[in-house]
Amino acid sequence: MFDDDLPAGESKSPAGDEVREPPESESDTGADAGRDTGRLEWPLWEVFVRGRHGMSHRHVGSLHATDAQMALKNARDVYTRRREGVSIWVVESRAITASIPADKEAFFDSSETKIYRHPSFYDIPDEAGAM
Amino acid sequence: MTLDGRAANDPLFDYLCRLGDGALILGHRLGEWCGHAPALEEDIALANTALDLIGQAQLWLDLAGRIEGEGRGADDLAMLRDVDEFKNPLLVEQPNGDFGCTLMRQFLFDGFHFHLLDHLRGASDRRVADIAAKAIKEVEYHLARSSDLVVRLGDGTKTSRARMQGALDILWPFTGELFEADIVDEAMLRAGIGPDLRKLEVAYRLHLDRIVEAATLTLPEVGSWQRGGKSGLRHSEALGYLLAQMQWLQRAYPQAKW
């Protein structure tokens, strides 16, 4: 829908190009076929929804939108149509820095034997509420 | 006004059919996009809107059936009436066209729908007011969404702007009927139910003009406004095809249930 007549400088996304590569099937028409081969996908957004009784926003999925306001509206339509939520956050996927799967052992395994870091050996007073 | 003179007897029945049919026919049109919209997100949003409208149609037509008192329910009214008994405005039965046309039709109707319901929730008839109060929450979002997209696409690329202007040129002449009071509208105004349509038009244009300007579009000059939908007397050819598809199951297998 927004794949034509883009002003110069906006025709390529500044980052996250690897997720925007057109699929093979769309790029076999040759370079001369022009814009159609470089079809610009809308940026990807991650959606977080806080449920009626939830205390925090939880990641529920992702969607495409041209900007944050459209992402919010789309999130409302895609992820809260069954009264799942009372609040929505959206964040562009490329803004998220994720841990690398190869680092898993160094990142996470060392805590495996340290069960004393769980608060399971303490009695939590009722007044403290939900934790 | 129906040919059998029912409008003279019970304008509320006709008025409720107008409300119900407008929502039903537009809901059906939007449902035609299901699985075909240009993006997954739009597809789901259109289907949501369609379901909102069909839900509202159910409430209006159910009440219409009770007012009529001849044992017809919402399903009977929706599935077993023919073209000239439908009272929806011509605007909503217009074919989907491209996505721009669908959006423009939605925007032009949403504004009217919102202001109408806003008035109806204060109607003297409690049953009407209750349905309007429920429906307006949905329609407020419909209007926000379609207004937003009309601005984005109108003030978008050369292509999207041309399509939105084309859609406005085609559909604008169908909006005149929305604000032309006839015998049913006048009866509803007197009964403290329906709005003064001239005042409604002023409120409608206030929002519409702002959005059209922001979308860099121009309202076309209209030589002759289209009318004949809400009276049922002169529907466009498109409605016949729509009903053929919507009603075929009840017509082919009368009383079928699932």
Quick: pLDDT tens for B67-125: 999 999 999 999 999 999 999 999 999 999 999 999 999 999 999 999 999 999 999 99
Query: Is A127 inside any structural domain?
Result: no
Q: Is A95 exposed, middle or buried (0-12, 13-18, 19+ CB in 10 A)?
A: exposed
Pairing of strands A87-92, A58-64: unpaired
Query: Which domain, by its residues, includes B71?
Result: 8-252
Residue numbers in A near B103 (CB within 8 A): none
The reply to whether B142 falls in a domain is yes
- Report which of B254, B242, B248 is spatially closest to residue B24, judged by C-alpha positions: B242
Instruction: Count up the domains in chain A and report the number.
Output: 1
Indicate whether B122 belongs to any domain.
Answer: yes
Higher pLDDT, B258 or B96: B96
B151 in a domain, yes or no?
yes
CATH of the domain at A83: 3.10.20.520
Q: How far apart are CA A34 and CA B67, in angstroms?
A: 61
What 3-state class would DSSP assign to A49? strand
Alpha-carbon radius of gyration of chain A = 22
**Cβ contact (<8 Å) for A63 and B40?**
yes
Count: domains in chain B: 1
Containing structural domain, residue A87 = 44-95
Asked, for residue A24, whether it belongs to a domain, the answer is no
SS3 content of chain A, % helix, strand, coil (to 5): 40, 15, 45
Tell whether B78 is covered by a domain.
yes
* Calpha distance B38→B162 (Å, rounded): 18
Looking at chain B, the whole-number percentage of residues with pLDDT higher than 90 is 93
Q: How many angstroms away from the CA of A122 is the closest CA of chain B? A: 47
Q: Which of B1 and A100 is assigned the larger pLDDT?
A: A100
Q: Measure Cα distances from B185 to A41, A67, B1, B24, B197 in Å.
A: 48, 42, 10, 20, 8
CB count within 10 Å of CB B5 equals 8
Question: Could you read off the pLDDT of B215-232 as tens digits, one per residue?
Answer: 999 999 998 899 999 999
| Burial annotation B21-41 (CB, 10 A radius, 16+ → b, else e) | bbbbbbbbbbbbbeeebebeb
Q: Are B248 and B240 in contact (CB under 8 A)?
A: no
- A42 close to A2: Cβ distance less than 8 angstroms: yes
User: What confidence tier does A39 reach under pLDDT thresholds 50, 70, 90?
Assistant: low
Please count the other Cβ atoms lying within 10 Å of the Cβ belonging to residue A38: 16
pLDDT of A29 higher than 60? no
A77-130 per-position pLDDT tens digit: 999 988 788 999 999 999 999 998 888 888 888 877 887 777 777 788 888 887
The predicted structure's pLDDT at residue A35: 43
Residue pair A13/A43 in contact by the 8 Å Cβ criterion? yes
* Least Cα separation, residue A120 to chain B (angstroms): 44
B48 within 8 A of A77, measured Cβ to Cβ: yes
- Is residue A3 a part of any domain in this protein? no
Residue with token string 């979002």: B141
Cα angle value B43/B48/B49 (rounded, 5°)? 100
Check residue A30 and give its pLDDT: 37
**Range ranked top by mean pLDDT from A2-6, A17-21, A53-57, B46-50:** B46-50
Considering only CB atoms, B48 lies closest to which of A66, A69, A81, namely A81
pTM of the model: 0.81
Question: What is the distance between the alpha carbons of residues A90 and A77, in angstroms, rounded to a whole number?
Answer: 13
CB atoms within 10 A of CB A105: 9
User: Which helix H or strand E contains B63, and what residues bound it?
Assistant: helix B40-68
Q: What is the pLDDT of residue A28?
A: 38
B159 closest CB neighbour out of A4, A42, A78: A4
A54 CA to chain B: closest CA distance, Å?
24
The pLDDT tens digits for B120-161 are 999 999 999 999 999 999 999 999 999 999 999 999 999 999
Does residue A56 sit within a domain?
Answer: yes
Structure tokens at A102: 């190869």
* Arithmetic mean of pLDDT over chain B: 94
Q: Give domain status of residue B2, yes or no.
A: no
Phi, psi of B159, rounded to the nearest 5 degrees: -65, -50
Provide the CATH number for the domain around residue B232: 1.20.1260.10
* pLDDT for the residue A31: 38
B64 by DSSP, 3-state: which?
Answer: helix
Q: Is residue A25 part of a domain?
A: no
A42 in reach of chain B (CB within 8 A): yes
Amino acid at B118: D
Confidence (pLDDT) at A38: 56
Residue identified by tokens 């407020």 is: B140
Nearest chain B Cα distance for residue A69, angstroms: 9
pLDDT at A14: 40
Chain B residue at shortest CA distance from A63: B41
pLDDT > 70 fraction of chain A, expressed in percent and rounded: 69
Q: What angle is formed at CA B59 by the lines to CA B94 and CA B105, rounded to 5 degrees?
A: 20
Residue A68 forms contact with B (CB below 8 Å): no
Query: Per residue, what are the HEC states of B168-215?
Result: HHHHHHHCHHHHCCCHHHHHHHHCCCCCCHHHHHHHHHHHHHHHHHHC
pLDDT band at A10 (very low <50, low <70, confident <90, very high): very low
* Sheet strand arrangement including A58-64: A58-64, A44-50, A87-92
pLDDT for B137 equals: 95
* Among the partner residues B41, B99, B157, nearest to A78 by beta-carbon distance: B41
What ipTM was assigned to the predicted interfaces of this complex?
A: 0.75
Average pLDDT value for residue range A7-26: 41
Domain assignment present for B163: yes
pLDDT at B164 over 50: yes
pLDDT of B9 reads: 67
Does B247 reside within a domain?
Answer: yes
